[in-house]
Amino acid sequence: MRLAINQKSRKRIAKKYGGSFNTGNIQPVWDPANPNGKPTAANGFLTATVTFTNLPNSNSAFGVKTARLKRDGDVVATNKYAVFFDKFGANHPPCSTCAGCPNWFWYWREGDVCGIPKNGKCKYDSTLGAGVAGTTEPWGDGVIRLGPDASRTYSFPRSFQCTYDSVTYLDLSGIGRPGWGIDSIVSALRHEQEHLDIYATFKIRFGIIPRNPSDLDGDGLPLASEETYRGLKTDPGNADTYNLKSYHSDYSIYGDQELRARFMEQNDASPYKAYPERDWAHPGTNHRINYEPDEL
């Protein structure tokens, strides 16, 4: 914090002024030259340097705070500043569900920033490869796992080849939802939840041999639902009607289910929502805003 001062008054003011910060439970450590926030005077300004250590237990401790300048214990000036956390660091408080998870996962979950469940049904998985936002095994533990790339830019091709019902090409430009940061997390959670919901509804595991009699193409969707489920029409005899395997070979066995998962990323009725006003990651939603305090 800096305060413009009269050259003649520099020494007298420097002895009387101190600083304080409202930072929640983030602990400020003043520079040795500025004990308890007492500023030093130089070049027409009072300057005090403070370093914040130990990340807090709550996401709400970040965000816009107030710096106060005091004279003889009385507040004579205030200004706003913002406190962020290093998005890709891992110096948050201990995590009991996924040790070593990055700060974004810990604080976005704790602060209900983008819907990451707190009930153990979502974990961070550092082993997921590049470009893999998330994964789940509906017939296993049903846990959604988010990977290192989940909080980065998320996108998916918007057009799909279709050879079903005499249609050679169909543009499904509304499928999927691109985004980055907390929006990317919301898309990943909605996507994986659809795989969980499909299995919970039909109890068919995709890609297994022998095929389930009600699911001859093995995509986890019963024949009777292929042409109507989620308002999308797919071929009951082809597990990948829209040729998603051209983007990833695994989709050859469950492309029709994957298509619906991409479609449900747009579901605003989903419980997974982003709250940008709660995002204090750096980089993140709010770090682009100029919170530098003006000179008093």
Q: Residues 156-185: pLDDT tens digits?
A: 656 666 767 655 445 555 566 667 899 999
What is the chain's alpha carbon radius of gyration, rounded to the nearest angstrom?
26
Backbone angles phi, psi at 155, to 5 degrees: -155, 165
- What was the pLDDT predicted at 155? 67
- What was the pLDDT predicted at 184? 92
Structure tokens at 36: 């308890």
CA 192 to CA 205: how far, in whole Å?
A: 15
Contacts of 158 (CB under 8 A, 6+ apart): 171, 172, 173, 175, 176
Amino acid, single-letter form, for residue 48:
A
- What was the pLDDT predicted at 68? 81
Could you give the C-alpha distances from 31 to 2, 49, 51, 52, 79, in angstroms and in order?
15, 5, 7, 11, 20
Task: Count CB neighbours of 273 within 10 A.
Answer: 15
- Asked if 176 and 262 touch (Cβ cutoff 8 Å), the reply is yes
Ordered strands of the 74-83 beta sheet: 17-22, 63-71, 74-83
CA 84 to CA 23: how far, in whole Å?
A: 11
Alpha-carbon 172 to chain mean position: 26
Domain-wise residue ranges, the chain: 2-83, 117-278
Residue 44: left if φ>0, alpha if ψ -120 to 50, beta else—which one? Answer: left
Contacts of 121 (CB under 8 A, 6+ apart): 142, 143, 144
Contacts of 84 (CB under 8 A, 6+ apart): 62, 280, 281, 282, 284, 286, 287
CA 140 to CA 60: how far, in whole Å?
A: 35
Residues of the chain with pLDDT under 70: 1-26, 155-161, 163, 165-178, 288-296
Structure tokens at 251: 């989709």
Q: Is the peptide bond before 283 cis (omega within 30 degrees of 0)?
A: yes
- Asked if 31 and 51 touch (Cβ cutoff 8 Å), the reply is yes
Could you give the C-alpha distances from 107 to 95, 187, 285, in angstroms and in order?
11, 18, 14
- Give me the residues paired with residue 20 across strands: 68
**Percent of the chain as helix, strand, coil, to the nearest 5:** 25, 20, 55
pTM, to two decimals: 0.82
